[in-house]
Amino acid sequence: MNSQWNELAAIKRELAARDWFPGTSGNLSIKVSEDPLTCLVTVSGKDKYKETESDFVLVDEDGRPLTDQGKPSAETVIHLEVYKKTDAGCSLHVHTLDNNVISELYGEKGSITFRNVELIKALDIWEEDGEFTIPIVENWADLPKLGKAISEKIKPDTKAVLIRNHGITVWGRNAFEAKRHLEACEFLFSYQLKLLHAKAANLKEVL
Ligand SMILES: CSCCC(=O)C(=O)COP(=O)(O)O
Ligand SMILES: [Zn+2]
């Protein structure tokens, strides 16, 4: 479990450096065993910019704590749904301004699709006319309901789900891949928002 702890701590440090944990938001997990399913998940309500010896707690497949670092993330159920539905080894959830605004702009549509942007290759889309879609679910306060809503949106090629006006949950087979996927998604959100602004301001007319 030591190596998974260190890997998750390193990711947490890197995401903190990007300022992706405002107001104690966000939670991270890494799978420790497949059968039975166990994972290390961030302790609920902590300042994720700080590093302590009780940042993570081991949980079982029902989210019950198996070690005594504290209360597992309130959103542990989402991480567990991801592990149960995919081959993920690491799951990351962050609230950023860009992912919140995108989730609201495209919330009614139920998804956002990116094409013709080089960085979709970081999400393993290499075809000439490839596209990458992120489903968007409502932000149900009932967390098991939210977990189920996310689980229902996960298809074989899904790598991330947006929760409306809340944040993103993104995963990968390992921590490196999960972080690459998260960085790519956040790049795409920022790109899309800048593109929408440029179009609204008719910037092409100026050129
Ligand atoms: C302070 S943000 C509200 C809770 C949330 O959405 C989140 O990501 C953090 O919850 P946790 O229990 O994992 O600290
Ligand atoms: Zn959250």
What structural domains does the chain harbor? 2-200 (3.40.225.10)
pLDDT attached to residue 51: 98
Flag whether 93 is marked binding: yes
Residue 1 predicted with pLDDT over 90 = no
Give the H/E segment covering residue 189.
helix 175-200
Cα of 203 vs centre of ligand 2, distance in Å, is 35
pLDDT attached to residue 162: 99
Q: Please, how many CA atoms are within 13 Å of residue 152, restricted to the half-sphere of its CB?
A: 10
Report the first-to-last Cα separation within the chain, whole angstroms: 56
Flag whether 95 is marked binding: yes
- Please give the Cα distance from 16 to 20 (Å, whole number): 6
Cα of 139 vs centre of ligand 2, distance in Å, is 10
pLDDT attached to residue 204: 77
Q: What is the pLDDT of residues 122-166, one digit of tens each?
A: 999 999 999 999 999 999 999 999 999 999 999 999 999 999 999
Q: Pocket residues for ligand 1 (CB within 6 Å)?
A: 23-27, 42, 44-45, 73-75, 93
Q: Which of 73, 163, 164 to mutate to test the pocket of ligand 1 (most atoms within 8 A of CB)?
A: 73
Atom of ligand 1 nearest to the CA of 46: 14
- Extended beta strands in 121-182, E state: 131-137, 160-163, 167-172
Measured CA distances, 128 to 54, 112, 114, 121, 125 (Å): 46, 19, 13, 10, 9
Amino acid letter, residue 60: D
Query: Residue written as tokens 């799978």?
Result: 31
Atom of ligand 1 nearest to the CA of 76: 13
